[in-house]
Amino acid sequence: MQRYGGPVFGRCRGVTLYELLLAVAIAAVLAALAVPSFGSFRRAAGVSTATTELLGALHFARSAAVLNGLPVTLCLTADAATCLASEARAATGWLVFTQPEATVFSVAIGDQPVLRSFRLPPDVSVHASRAAVTFWPVTRASTTSTFDICDVTRTVRGRAVVVSQTGRPRVAPEEATCTQ
């Protein structure tokens, strides 16, 4: 054996075709076993991402109402253009907009510009106890609602976002009721 330079192991050998095919077959079996877990992981990541996005949109709406001195509404949407009229329908996203003539019972975009919008992944839906939440320009004032973010296949644990009467949005520690 030489100290510096030169081959240490002698002659190098290659891999036979049989060894290569065996390694590819083992890799294929392992990949086939892992694929279902990746689907579940992807759905769980979609629910988690939607929860984070909704929480961020609620915080944005709350701060925009206080900063602009106008009521700001976050409403669920099925078509990315209009608010849902009923809580019974599943939404595919939400819209955030200012609503100068807001009342507790009226929600309409009208000609108001949309401040933010979000579209859920195709395998995630959101239901709410109220289809819209309005934040008033005074601190600690809003309508209440609970948003349930669910995987449409019901194979992944749902998440619930709660808006209190003081306007504080939070992720609930208990699992969402994804029954609809």
Q: Is residue 2 part of a domain?
A: no
Residues 42-72: tens digit of each pLDDT: 888 888 899 999 999 999 999 998 888 888 8
Average pLDDT over the chain, rounded to an integer: 82
* pLDDT for the residue numbered 130: 85
Q: Is residue 141 part of a domain?
A: yes
d(CA 121, CA 150): 11
Residues 118-163: tens digit of each pLDDT: 998 888 889 888 888 888 887 667 788 889 898 888 778 889 899 8
d(CA 147, CA 175): 11
Q: Is residue 5 part of a domain?
A: no
What is the percent of the chain with per-residue pLDDT over 70, rounded to a whole number? 86
Residue 66's SS3 state is helix
* pLDDT for the residue numbered 136: 86
* Domain of residue 143, residue span: 17-171
DSSP secondary structure of 34-64 = HHHHHHHHHHHHHHHHHHHHHHHHHHHHHHH
- Residues whose CB falls within 8 Å of the CB of residue 86, separated by 6 or more in sequence, listed in order: 131
* pLDDT for the residue numbered 179: 66
Q: Is residue 176 part of a domain?
A: no
pTM: 0.74
Are 149 and 50 a contacting pair, CB within 8 Å?
Answer: yes
Q: Is residue 67 part of a domain?
A: yes
- pLDDT higher than threshold 60 for residue 7: no
Domain count, the chain: 1
Q: Where are the alpha helices (DSSP H) in the chain?
A: 17-68
